[in-house]
Homo-oligomer: A and B are copies of this chain.
Amino acid sequence: MAERARQIVEAARELLEKEGADALTMRRIADRLGIRAPSLYKHFPDKQAVELELIAQGLQEQAEALMAATEDEQPLVALGAAYRAYALAHPHLYRLMTAGPLPRHLLPDGLEARAALPLVRIVPDEHRARALWAFAHGMVILELDGRFPPDADLDGAWRVGLAAFAQVAAR
């Protein structure tokens, strides 16, 4: 990727993280670089291509954070904590990464598999792995969307949920 393209993605990411998806417009991205929106189209074919770079970046980062957690002596607990931490640290990016169909065919080769690897590593059974993923995503997205009561003890819900999946492992 050329230098200018890199700067565009960087500007897009800052905008998304700081102001959310609504602020992620071609004009705002261009503003940040001191150029005009139409100039962006010399570097990317359309807006979706810029978003795709952000999604790929997020998946890669998340994969690295989760993989580190699998080294923990309580990998399931560490994985849950790492999943939640990444989502809360990058709420808008997390939403972009997880909302709507994944444009699989446009992602770098093997990235989706790499993102799933930490989970597969500590939860080999595919049903259990998918159930655990759903639990983690559900917890995170409900928290980000403010759907839990404001005074809910989410640490407690995470603890109990992860314990449930640990038990299934042991049976």
Contact = CB atoms under 8 A, between A and B. Distances in A.
Contact of A141 (B138, B139, B163): B138
A161 B137 contact: no
Q: Taking each of A142, A154, A161, A171, which has the highest tally of chain B beta carbons within 10 Å of its own beta carbon? A: A161
A154 B131 CA distance: 9
Contacts of A167: 164, 167-168, 171
Report the contact-size class of chain A (Cβ under 8 Å from the partner): 35 or more
A65 B79 CA distance: 34
Q: How many copies does the complex hold?
A: 2
B160 A127 contact: yes
A127 B153 contact: yes
A51 to B, nearest CB: 15
A157 B131 contact: yes
A130 interface: yes
Nearest to A150: B104
Interface string A141-166: 11001111000111011111101110
Interface centre among A127, A146, A156 (most CB of B within 10 A): A127
Contacts of A168: 160, 163-164, 167
A102 B100 CA distance: 20
A161 B147 contact: no
Interface string A100-139: 1110000000000000000000000111101111111111
Given A130-B157, A135-B161, A141-B141, 14 more contacts: A98-B147, A125-B160, A127-B156, A127-B159, A127-B160, A128-B160, A128-B164, A131-B139, A131-B164, A132-B161, A133-B138, A163-B168, A164-B164, A164-B167
